[in-house]
């Protein structure tokens, strides 16, 4: 289970603004890539919530949404998005970095302070003006990153569910834009939408 060991290993004061960042949505055929930045006031975290926060991929969707709301009630959250059009224009890696930058900027505006350190899930760090470090499998190690993974996943799932009402038949409320059998069958039947990533196979085959 993730904890605050990584945050504490930085050797900063207990009042330091240490932010965890994670993203979701690099692999889907449709929809944005979404990033969340999370800063905890550790005094507000209950022991109950500590036991619930884990890598978002290990948590069922309904439970994840509930935990996300609990995190949002006590933490400062920044959300960043990069659209399917930006993904096609930039490539998925650069679009992911852009979403992370936007999430951090959104958080920074709320705390009115520069972060003292940013911990980012993965092996690459976006261009930032703050000290930062990429942590491979960080969502399994850092509580701040794990919380960011839960919030990002919940926000993106909710967005894809809302899109599914405008584009029924693709199953986005269930598959979140990933290339499931149902989604691929719908593309064959209905064609591609404005939210499909045209630079991704097999979407490119329908152009």
Listed by start position, the domains of the chain span 5-163
- Burial of 63 by CB count in 10 Å (0-12 exposed, 13-18 middle, 19+ buried)? exposed
Query: Which pLDDT score is estimated for 44?
Result: 85
pLDDT in tens, 26-45: 999 999 999 999 999 888 88
Q: What is the pLDDT of residue 17?
A: 94
Looking at residue 15, what is its pLDDT? Answer: 86
Say whether pLDDT at 12 is over 90: yes
At 181, list the tokens: 């059998």
Work out the pLDDT band at 206, boundaries 50, 70, 90: confident
Residue 188: closest CA among 32, 29, 31? 29
Checking if the pLDDT of 182 tops 90, the result is yes
Average pLDDT, the chain: 94
Predicted confidence (pLDDT) per residue in 91-129, tens digit? 999 999 999 999 999 999 998 778 999 999 999 999 999
- CATH number of the structural domain 5-163: 3.30.420.10
State how far the Cα of 84 lies from the Cα of 78, in Å rounded to an integer: 20
What does R_g of the chain's alpha carbons equal in angstroms?
A: 17
Question: What is the model's pLDDT at position 112?
Answer: 79
What's the pTM value of the predicted model, to 2 decimals? 0.95
Residue 56 reports pLDDT greater than 80: no
Beta-sheet pairing, 117-121 with 132-135: parallel
Q: Give the pLDDT confidence score for residue 58 in this predicted structure.
A: 83
């Amino acid at each position: 289970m993730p904890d605050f060991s990584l945050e504490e290993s930085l050797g900063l004061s207990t009042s330091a603004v240490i932010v965890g960042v994670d993203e979701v949505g690099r692999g889907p055929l449709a929809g944005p890539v979404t990033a969340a930045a999370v800063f905890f006031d550790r005094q507000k975290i209950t022991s109950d919530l500590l036991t619930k926060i884990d890598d978002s991929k290990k948590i069922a969707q309904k439970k994840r949404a509930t935990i996300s709301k609990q995190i949002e009630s006590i933490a400062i959250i920044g959300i960043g998005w990069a659209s399917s059009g930006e993904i096609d224009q930039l490539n998925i890696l650069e679009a992911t970095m852009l979403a992370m930058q936007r999430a951090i900027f959104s958080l920074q505006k709320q705390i009115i302070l520069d972060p003292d350190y940013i911990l980012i899930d993965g092996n690459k760090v976006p261009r930032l003006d703050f000290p930062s470090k990429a942590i491979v499998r960080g969502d399994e190690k850092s509580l701040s990153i794990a919380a960011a993974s839960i919030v990002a996943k919940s926000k993106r799932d909710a967005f894809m569910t809302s899109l599914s009402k405008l584009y029924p038949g693709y199953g986005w409320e269930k598959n979140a834009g990933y290339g499931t059998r149902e989604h691929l069958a719908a593309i064959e039947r209905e064609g591609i939408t404005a939210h499909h990533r045209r630079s991704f196979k097999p979407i490119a085959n329908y152009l």
